[in-house]
Amino acid sequence: MNEMGVLMENRIAEIYLERLSLPLTIPYKLAFGPVTAFDTVIAHISDDSGRSGFGEATILTGYTPETIEGCWARIQEIGASLIGLSTEDAKAEAFRHHHDAPFTVTSLITGIEMLEGHPALNPIKPVDVPLLAILSTMDEAGIAKEINRHVEDGYKTIKVKIGWGVEDDLKRIAFIQSCLPNHVRIRIDGNQGYSKEDGITFATRVNPDKIELLEQPCHMDDWDAAAAVAKVSGVPFMLDESIYGEAEIERAANMETVQFVKLKLMKTGSIENLQKQLGLIKSMGMTPVLGNGVAADPGCWMECCVAMTMIDNAGEMNGFLKPVDGLFDIPLVVKGGAVTLPQKYPSLIDTSPFRRDTMTYGR
């Protein structure tokens, strides 16, 4: 309230941006090449009442058209334009750029949602969110050993990457299936590595035993290939990279052969949009999957907070486990294949060892 009793809107007072490089413990193997470090931008946002929040954009070349250089330039441009705006106007102004820079925009808007105290980020009590594990090993001896370790750690879903070569992939999946206990399932991710023909070959020849789903075997823009593979697939089919919003969710539902749709917070623009899109997936008869395996602590924490009330399967928000060092002062704890969410907002550590650049606007 001002001195005349008029309710005043909180306004964005400062935006501090950091560009980080977060080395990974082991390379993250993808069809379009191994990832050895996360290229991450953190947006720290404060308003004129002293509230603060942070959001994250981690750019994976090949997954999104955005690049880390483009993200860093664009977030400075957009961030500067938000100073002095009310939090609602700032979110609306940032979202105008969502179509061209979804990851970049999401880091700014979620930082504002955090400082506003978004309800999803305030769990009433500690909640365990089940995660899946990643199978990183390629040789048979290593595969068997790694599966045993994941099972001992309490994971019931294991993600397996394919997309290098159909025959080798089929052989490796068959061996993995032979190593799995009856209560464990695999989620197979094609990472856009196949042509339509190879995708059809894999989907029709793979043994469906202990397979939860097959994810995005063909390029994100090739909806015809996705439809062709989904139509003949012997296992449930999921789209991921092709999905950026409500239009793509509706398009997937209209194919009538897509059973799962995966979302990532960094693509949706905001926590609010993520919740709406998860609800839309369910309303259209499909099952939502949530989580970003290429995200640091802030993005994964926010996804876990949403997952605890909206997701019934293993989350993929395990990116925070991949870097050598985490970004939270009190790390997220994974036990029994699940992460326990803290009941208070986490704080970031000193990120200077990973810092490549900074920029500040406002105060």
Give yes or no: residues 88 and 216 share one domain. no
Give the CATH number of the domain where residue 65 resides: 3.30.390.10
What is the model's pLDDT at position 32? 66
Q: How many domains does the chain have?
A: 2
Burial 177-190 (b: 16+ CB within 10 A, else e): bebbeeebbbbbbb
Residue 7 lies in a domain: no
- With bands split at pLDDT 50, 70 and 90, how would you rate the model's confidence at 4? very low
Give yes or no: residues 288 and 317 share one domain. yes
Give yes or no: residues 47 and 143 share one domain. no
Give yes or no: residues 202 and 64 share one domain. no
What is the model's pLDDT at position 2? 47
Please tell me the distance from the alpha carbon of residue 65 to that of residue 241, in angstroms, as a whole number: 11
How far is residue 112 CA from its own chain's centroid? 19
Give yes or no: residues 82 and 229 share one domain. no
Q: pLDDT tens digit string along 230-241?
A: 999 999 999 999
Give yes or no: residues 274 and 247 share one domain. yes
Give yes or no: residues 112 and 213 share one domain. no
Query: Which domain, by its residues, includes 200?
Result: 128-340
Give the CATH number of the domain where residue 219 resides: 3.20.20.120
Mean pLDDT value of segment 254-279: 97
- With bands split at pLDDT 50, 70 and 90, how would you rate the model's confidence at 1? very low
What is the model's pLDDT at position 28? 78
Residue 80 lies in a domain: yes
Give yes or no: residues 197 and 317 share one domain. yes
Residue 2 lies in a domain: no
Residue 3 lies in a domain: no
Predicted structure pTM score: 0.93
Residue 4 lies in a domain: no
What is the model's pLDDT at position 114? 97
Q: What is the mean pLDDT of the chain?
A: 94
Indicate whether 37 pLDDT > 60. yes
Give yes or no: residues 54 and 168 share one domain. no
Residue 110 lies in a domain: yes
What is the model's pLDDT at position 343? 74
Mean pLDDT value of segment 285-306: 96
Q: pLDDT tens digit string along 192-241?
A: 999 999 999 999 999 999 999 999 999 999 999 999 999 999 999 999 99
Indicate whether 36 pLDDT > 80. yes
Residue 345 lies in a domain: no
Give yes or no: residues 184 and 298 share one domain. yes
Residue 5 lies in a domain: no
